[in-house]
Amino acid sequence: MRLLLLILACCLALPAHAQGFISRLLNQPVPGGVAVIDLGPAAGAPRARYQDKPVLVIHEDGQRWIAIVGLPLSTKPGTQQIAVQKNRGKQTLSFEVSNKHYQEQRITIKNQQQVNPNPANLKRIDRELAEQTRAYRQFSPRQPSNLLLDKPVNGPLSSPFGLRRFFNGEERNPHSGLDFAASRGTPIKAPAAGKVILLGDYFFNGKTVFVDHGQGLISMFCHLSEIDVKLGDELPRGGVLGKVGATGRATGPHLHWNVSLNDARIDPAIFIGAFVP
């Protein structure tokens, strides 16, 4: 009887193992999540697009190609599609997006300009937003060095991704990243190898570093007290890029970490094994 149960357990486990490690790690198809789509075998790397933007494609387990698609928080649950080109042919593949409920967060900010900025600050914010948007939309051909990402700091998670945020009682954009509680001056390490593509000292984000890990996978780190890299620097996995601070719109020292995939801000917890469905 025990042998029969063991055989049954192995059979039930086969589909999960057949999926591959990356698929099991990353496939969380919800708004703000990631959809992993099987593209099958091909002689060369297929190309895929979602909402007319290129997406990350990798060869999983040396057997098949998969597309790793970032889903914006604005994605509607239901059927979504990607366009795929491989072996000189084109096809459309469908996948399903499930619903997810995100909680609320209420924050009190003493500086009223960081809640309702004046016209001069609004111009600055628009200019800075355009600069950061261009960085998020970069798509380099390099393959990410790793997709199971390291935590950039070892502090506990303080604010999860996707929170509906209210500043002084007024609703603003949902929380687009993951916050780590850490003391001022704590070194921040690159969760994967990458190139520094943008540095800034922004109205909301404070001192900020953007790192391109490859094929549209981009990390943004903000509220830093110090930036320890230069534009164009190549960072190894674990390389120090700056130190934790409280610059910009922050109520205290912490690290805010964004992960963007095909220009969609997605839950970094997926990439560190901390996602909560």
Q: What is the pLDDT of residues 45-73, one digit of tens each?
A: 999 999 999 999 999 877 899 999 999 99
Does one domain contain both 31 and 53? Answer: yes
pTM reported for the whole predicted model: 0.86
Q: Per residue in 213-228, pLDDT tens?
A: 999 999 999 999 999 9
Whether 100 contacts 117, CB under 8 Å: no
Does one domain contain both 66 and 165? Answer: no
Rg of the chain (C-alpha set): 20
Percentage of the chain modeled with pLDDT above 70: 85
Amino acid at 100: K
Q: Per residue in 234-261, pLDDT tens?
A: 999 999 999 999 999 888 999 999 999 9
**Where is average pLDDT lowest: 17-31, 84-98, 244-258?**
17-31
Q: Can you read off the two tokens belonging to residue 27?
A: 């496939």
Does one domain contain both 250 and 182? Answer: yes
* Average confidence score pLDDT of the chain: 88
Give the C-alpha separation, 36 to 82, whole Å: 11
CATH value at residue 213: 2.70.70.10
Average pLDDT, stretch 7-22?
48
Does one domain contain both 132 and 253? Answer: yes
Average pLDDT, stretch 70-91?
93
CATH value at residue 53: 2.60.40.1590
**Domains: count for the chain:** 2
Does one domain contain both 140 and 197? Answer: yes
For 51, the domain range is 18-97
- The pLDDT, as a whole number, for residue 114 is 58
Question: How many CB atoms are located within 10 Å of the residue 113 CB?
Answer: 12
On whether residue 165 sits in a domain, the answer given is yes
